[in-house]
Amino acid sequence: MIIVHNHPNNTPQPSADDFVAAFSLKKTLGMVGIELVDSIIVAGDKYIPISNEKVYRKH
Type and span of the H or E element at 7: none
Question: pTM, whole model, 2 decimals?
Answer: 0.80
Sign of the torsion angle spanned by Cα atoms 52, 1, 3, 56: negative
- What pLDDT, in 10s, does the model give residues 30-54? 999 999 999 999 999 999 998 876 6
Lowest mean pLDDT among 6-10, 38-42, 53-57: 53-57
Structural domains of the chain sorted by starting position, each given as residue range(s) with its CATH number in brackets:
2-57 (3.40.140.10)
